[in-house]
Amino acid sequence: MIAETENTDTNVIADTNTSDKKTTNAEGKPANDKIKISKEEVAALETECFPGRIIVAQTPADVKKGIEYLSMFDMVGIDTESKPSFKKGKSNKISLLQIATDECCILFRINLTGITDEIKNFFENRSIIKIGVSLKDDFLMLHKAATFSPYGFVEIQELVEKFNIGEKSLQKIYAILFDKKISKSQRLSNWDAEILSDAQKRYAATDAWASLKIYRALCNKDITECYRRRAELTKE
């Protein structure tokens, strides 16, 4: 996964194959049994959605204003959506780029605007931390549309390893930390639709915001009671 620490001068392609490595948890102790959660446990949880304002940017002027706003923050959550493909081996271009702060999420309809210079400059801005899940996959697709060098990105899947969390999906990581679930009901919807539904907008914003919320909790060592309870169960 692509990741970079806050003040480095070059990109870092981090090795996520930890099968042969000895890992430690956030307290520096050997990580033995990983903290996990089942699909059934997740399904039983209350659903949580992004509570803030959602703005759709679908013209170059919208994109410029959106990036100007986001550039005022030192960290954001990021995610993408693509129109689903039901043919084996075929994938579609990224349709939507969503970038969230704690209070606002901007949905960039790059299927309409393309990846503008403002977006590329934002991706290359070292002073803004950009947090997401499966960033390697996102950049693989984004690089098919534009050339840029990503800086300041943090991969959640790598970060949670330090806390002995053995899940990779955003939904399960969020459930372990906050005892709530993120709905995935809109994942296979049409992201190239002329008008995005309110459900699509809320889904997209929630995914980007969730990464930011996870990062803040872990980096501030604000370990939730839910996480502590699951960690204790793992030790038993």
Look at residue 14 and tell me whether its pLDDT is greater than 60.
no
Question: Residue 159 — very low, low, confident or very high, per pLDDT cuts 50/70/90?
Answer: very high
Structure confidence by residue, pLDDT tens digits, 65-101: 999 999 999 999 999 998 876 566 566 789 999 999 9
Question: Residue 196 — very low, low, confident or very high, per pLDDT cuts 50/70/90?
Answer: very high
Neighbouring residues of 216: CB distance < 8 A, sequence distance ≥ 6: 75, 222
What share of the chain in percent tops pLDDT 70?
79
Q: Two tokens at 27?
A: 């307290």
pLDDT at 2: 35
Structure confidence by residue, pLDDT tens digits, 96-151: 999 999 999 999 999 999 999 999 999 999 999 999 999 998 998 899 889 999 99
pLDDT at 37: 93
Q: Two tokens at 130?
A: 């950009």
Mean pLDDT of the chain: 84
Amino acid at 94: I
Give CA–CA dist 204/208, Å, rounded.
Answer: 7
Neighbouring residues of 21: CB distance < 8 A, sequence distance ≥ 6: none
Neighbouring residues of 101: CB distance < 8 A, sequence distance ≥ 6: 52, 70, 73, 76, 77, 212
Contact in structure between 99 and 108 (CB atoms under 8 Å): yes
Contact in structure between 4 and 130 (CB atoms under 8 Å): no
Supply the angle between the helices 198-219 and 170-178 in degrees, to the nearest 10. 60
Give CA–CA dist 97/217, Å, rounded.
Answer: 24
Look at residue 178 and tell me whether its pLDDT is greater than 80.
yes
Show contacts of 179-187: CB within 8 Å, 24+ apart. 179/45, 179/224, 179/226, 180/45, 180/46, 180/47, 180/48, 181/42, 181/43, 181/45, 181/46, 181/47, 181/48, 182/47, 182/48, 182/49, 182/206, 182/207, 182/210, 183/47, 183/49, 187/84
Question: Residue 6 — very low, low, confident or very high, per pLDDT cuts 50/70/90?
Answer: very low
